[in-house]
């Protein structure tokens, strides 16, 4: 009875400190049949919470899988708890999705729990991870290589998933069940040493206990301190991020002046799906020439002059119209509108000088007048020059980056470029002293509502 009360008090202290439940919460408890999940179900019922149980049969251990399911069914009948059971072909799922058996089981388990939570209008999902699991996870991450997050261990609360036993040790849990006379099942694979986690559990940690008998308490304290440090680190990274990131652009000159710039860049890029190796290479080559493109699953990153530019892979950019009207307001790209007017030119007519506006001699234009994205091999005669120039060379001279070049629009007269939009008109369509009619096109950021509507 002493151990039973001690473990319940420890769990309730964890619940209060980390605000895991409200008094009227309905809780779904994941129950495998092992000591940890059986104890969690009994303790949460003892605390007065409304509990329902969920069991996943992954069919990975032959007769043991059926034995575990029958045990959980019997337990829930005896204590009058509603039980939900699901059967999974775990190996087939792993093969289909190209993941390990362990990852497949995890995905199936938490996916099932979340579906039950929504369907039965439950408030939380309680799982039975405890202090030993937490320490094993930290050591596993340390062996594989990790950052502060991996050394912080498991979260007490992650969305709807809560871990009320995270401060309790496995020995405490087993003594609690022994005092209650409550049986449980044992997964025979936990006694094998082929998996890395089991090697940590059965070989490494016992040796560490030989050096420090209180190793679990010691490492749990370390976990908590690292978790606190990780919170402070996250705050500092967000502050530094605000100094170097603007939209999808990272200022590399400012980045270099910050403390621990490599770490800051890693944290920024990891949010875009780039791994540590990529982030390290990108940092090492910040001074490289512009134009290098890196890829993550969802993003392109372009190294430009003094900055890194990011663009989503699923972001489409195309012309939304082809033939331009001679009057009116038209959206020509996702972010670009044209205002088009025909004007009469007098002797005092002042040609606009803004790059966003062009005036073309209407009588020199051939129809149709179209707009499209610039293409490889495009040429034009830049205003004020005599010979033709490749559009790509002109944009390079203007220090335009790859992303900007891919979005460069051109207005064409009968197939001949008349305006490199936002840059320069073609000399052949310029306004001169003989011009009496002109076509004025104003380029501006797209507006959802037309000013003419």
- Whats the size of the chain, residue-wise? 453
Alpha-carbon gap, residue 218 to 166, rounded angstroms: 14
| Tokens describing residue 32 | 């495998």
In the chain, ranges of CATH 3.40.50.620 domains = 2-222
Q: How far is CA 303 from CA 47, 238, 264, 440, in A?
A: 57, 22, 17, 36
| Tokens describing residue 452 | 């003419």
Alpha-carbon gap, residue 85 to 74, rounded angstroms: 13
pTM, two decimals, is 0.66
In the chain, ranges of CATH 3.50.40.10 domains = 328-445
What CATH number matches the domain at 328-445, 3.50.40.10, 2.40.160.20, 3.40.50.720, 3.30.300.30? 3.50.40.10
- Nearest alpha carbon to residue 216 among 130, 137, 135: 135
Alpha-carbon gap, residue 390 to 167, rounded angstroms: 68
Inter-residue long-range contacts of 319-323, CB under 8 Å, 24+ positions, other chains counted: 319/371, 319/372, 319/373, 319/409, 321/371, 322/370, 322/371, 322/372, 323/368, 323/369, 323/370
> pLDDT in tens for each of the 453 residues of the chain?
555 678 999 999 999 999 999 989 999 999 999 999 999 999 999 999 999 999 999 999 889 999 999 999 999 999 999 999 999 999 999 999 999 898 999 999 999 999 999 999 999 999 999 999 999 999 998 988 887 888 888 999 999 999 999 999 999 999 999 999 999 998 755 544 457 888 998 899 999 999 999 999 999 999 999 999 999 999 999 999 999 999 999 999 999 999 999 999 999 999 999 998 999 999 999 988 888 999 999 999 999 989 999 999 988 888 888 899 999 999 999 999 999 999 998 877 788 888 999 999 999 999 899 999 999 999 999 998 889 999 999 999 999 999 999 999 999 998 899 999 999 999 999 998 889 999 999 999 988 655 444
Within 10 angstroms of residue 159's Cβ, the number of other Cβ atoms is 10
Q: Which residues of 47-75 are buried (b: 16+ CB within 10 A; e: fewer)?
A: bebebbbbbbbbeeeeeebeebbebbeeb
Contact 344, 437 (CB under 8 A): yes
Alpha-carbon gap, residue 272 to 245, rounded angstroms: 13
- Tell me the CATH number for domain 2-222: 3.40.50.620
């Amino acid at each position: 009875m002493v151990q039973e009360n001690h473990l319940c008090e420890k769990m309730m202290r964890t619940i209060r400190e980390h605000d895991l439940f409200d008094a009227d919460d309905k809780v779904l408890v994941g129950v495998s049949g092992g000591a940890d999940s059986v104890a969690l179900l009994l303790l949460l019922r003892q605390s007065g919470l409304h509990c329902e149980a969920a069991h996943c049969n992954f069919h990975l251990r032959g007769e043991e899988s059926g034995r575990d399911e029958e045990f959980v069914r019997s337990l829930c009948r005896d204590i009058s708890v509603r039980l939900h059971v699901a059967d999974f072909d775990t190996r087939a799922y792993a093969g289909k999705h190209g993941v390990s058996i362990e990852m497949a089981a995890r995905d199936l388990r938490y996916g099932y729990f979340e579906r039950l939570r929504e369907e039965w209008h439950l408030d939380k999902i309680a799982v039975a991870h405890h202090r030993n699991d937490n320490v094993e996870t930290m050591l596993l991450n340390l062996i594989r290589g990790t950052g502060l997050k991996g050394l912080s261990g498991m979260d007490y609360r992650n969305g709807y998933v809560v871990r009320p036993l995270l401060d309790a040790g496995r020995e405490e849990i087993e003594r609690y069940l022994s005092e209650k006379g409550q049986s449980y099942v044992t997964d025979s694979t936990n006694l094998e040493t082929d998996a890395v986690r089991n090697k940590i559990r059965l070989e490494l940690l016992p040796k560490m206990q030989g050096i420090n008998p209180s190793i679990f308490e010691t490492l749990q304290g370390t976990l908590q301190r690292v978790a606190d440090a990780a919170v402070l680190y996250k705050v500092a990274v967000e502050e530094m991020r605000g100094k170097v990131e603007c939209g999808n652009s990272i200022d590399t000159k400012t980045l270099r002046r910050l403390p621990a710039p490599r770490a800051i860049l890693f944290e920024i890029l990891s949010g875009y799906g780039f791994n540590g190796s990529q982030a390290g290479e990108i940092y090492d080559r910040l001074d490289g020439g512009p134009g290098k493109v890196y890829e993550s699953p969802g993003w392109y990153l372009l190294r430009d002059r003094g900055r890194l530019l990011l663009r989503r892979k699923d972001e489409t950019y195309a012309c939304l119209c082809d033939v331009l009207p001679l009057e009116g307001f038209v959206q020509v790209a996702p972010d670009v509108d044209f205002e088009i007017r025909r004007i009469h030119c007098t002797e005092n007519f002042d040609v606009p000088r803004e790059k966003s506006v062009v005036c073309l001699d209407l009588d020199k234009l051939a129809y149709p007048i179209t707009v499209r994205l610039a293409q490889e091999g495009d040429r034009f005669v830049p205003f004020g020059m005599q010979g033709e120039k490749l559009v790509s060379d002109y944009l390079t001279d203007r220090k335009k980056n790859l992303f900007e070049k891919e979005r460069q629009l051109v207005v064409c007269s009968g197939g001949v470029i008349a305006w490199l939009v936002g840059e320069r008109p073609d000399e052949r369509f310029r306004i001169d002293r003989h011009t009496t009619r002109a076509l004025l096109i104003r380029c501006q950021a797209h507006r959802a509502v037309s000013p003419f509507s």
